[in-house]
Amino acid sequence: MAKDNENKKPQGAPGQDAGKGGKRPGPANAGRKVAGPKKHVPEDDDAPAGPRVPPRLQVRYDAEIRSKVAEKFGIANRFAQPKLQKIVVNINMGRHLEGTKIPPAVRTQVLDTILKITGQKPVVVKSKKSVSNFKLREGYESSAVVTMRRDRMWHFLDRLINLATPRIKDFRGLNDRAFDKGGNYAMGLTEQGVFPEINMAEVTFTHGMNINMCFSNSSPELSKFVLAELGLPFRKPDQK
């Protein structure tokens, strides 16, 4: 009996090695698939409102202005007609430089302004060359820029024409000569408060911005005609 007891190997505690070459017993649910978190099933409130609604200025351009361009300028091919490609909004911050950096309050306000009026996060641009007259050196942060395309571009242009420009003080129309050879149009605003998204009671300083509308297959005459048909209020010649 003693020999039989000696030949018996002691059994280890559960979860420990049973011996050399033995297998460690796994958990009770080993090999079974554990159910993950339940997926959120959208209810009626979470469901999308409906199909995409194209911007109204884009619809107007495709439905009305293209035919007017073909009739007046003889450009029947829609691929050869002028096309608004992008709108670039730029706010200069170089004049607020203190030493080598822009104050955090100025930087935050400028970025928030662009984000509110465009709905797109801006990019901070560093200067590529030194300009002594502006106390600017290469590598310093100089401006914040955002580039809008497609639907966001059309929505911004709609708000600029119908909401922002009527709120400009002593407004007598936009300059109709601010076109380059490619038909791109540039305009400037002296204060950000013309956009209804900006609450001037919350801002710490007033700043302007530059807005560039870039066209393809265009010229100054074509771009002016398209923008005027879209509703951009150009300066009218004085009637004697």
Evaluate whether residue 79 is within a structural domain.
Answer: yes
The alpha-carbon radius of gyration of the chain (Å, integer) is 32
Evaluate whether residue 73 is within a structural domain.
Answer: yes
Task: Give 200's pLDDT tier (boundaries 50, 70, 90).
Answer: confident
Evaluate whether residue 239 is within a structural domain.
Answer: no
Locate all alpha helices (DSSP H) within 29-124, ordered by sequence. Answer: 56-60, 66-73, 104-118
User: Once rounded to an integer, what is the mean pLDDT over residues 189-217?
Assistant: 90
Task: Give 157's pLDDT tier (boundaries 50, 70, 90).
Answer: very high
183 backbone dihedrals φ, ψ, rounded to 5°: 90, 10
Evaluate whether residue 10 is within a structural domain.
Answer: no
Evaluate whether residue 39 is within a structural domain.
Answer: no
Domain that holds residue 176: 56-93+104-125+142-230
- For the chain, percent of residues with pLDDT exceeding 90: 47
Rounded CA separation 117/208 (Å): 13
Evaluate whether residue 114 is within a structural domain.
Answer: yes
Average pLDDT of the chain is 81
Q: What is the pLDDT of residue 153?
A: 95
Asked if pLDDT for residue 30 goes beyond 80, the answer is: no
Give strand ranges (E) for 34-162.
83-92, 123-126, 141-148
Rounded CA separation 10/25 (Å): 16
Quick: pLDDT tens for 104-113: 888 899 999 9
Asked if pLDDT for residue 12 goes beyond 60, the answer is: no
Quick: pLDDT tens for 41-93: 444 444 455 677 889 999 999 999 999 999 999 999 999 999 999 999 999 88
Q: What is the pLDDT of residue 77?
A: 93
Q: What is the pLDDT of residue 33?
A: 56
Q: What tokens appear for 73 in the block?
A: 């300028």
Of the CA atoms within 13 Å of residue 98, those in its CB half-sphere come to 6
This prediction's pTM: 0.74
Task: Give 35's pLDDT tier (boundaries 50, 70, 90).
Answer: low
Q: How many CB atoms lie within 10 A of CB 34?
A: 5
Q: What is the pLDDT of residue 44?
A: 45
Q: What is the pLDDT of residue 34?
A: 53
Q: What is the pLDDT of residue 74?
A: 92
Alpha carbon 234 to its chain's center: 27
Rounded CA separation 204/211 (Å): 22
Asked if pLDDT for residue 6 goes beyond 70, the answer is: no
Q: What tokens appear for 26 in the block?
A: 């796994």
Number of domains in the chain: 1
Q: Which residue in the block uniquely carries the two structure tokens 């002028």? A: 82
Locate all alpha helices (DSSP H) within the chain, ordered by sequence. Answer: 2-7, 56-60, 66-73, 104-118, 150-159, 220-230
CATH code of residue 201: 3.30.1440.10
Evaluate whether residue 224 is within a structural domain.
Answer: yes
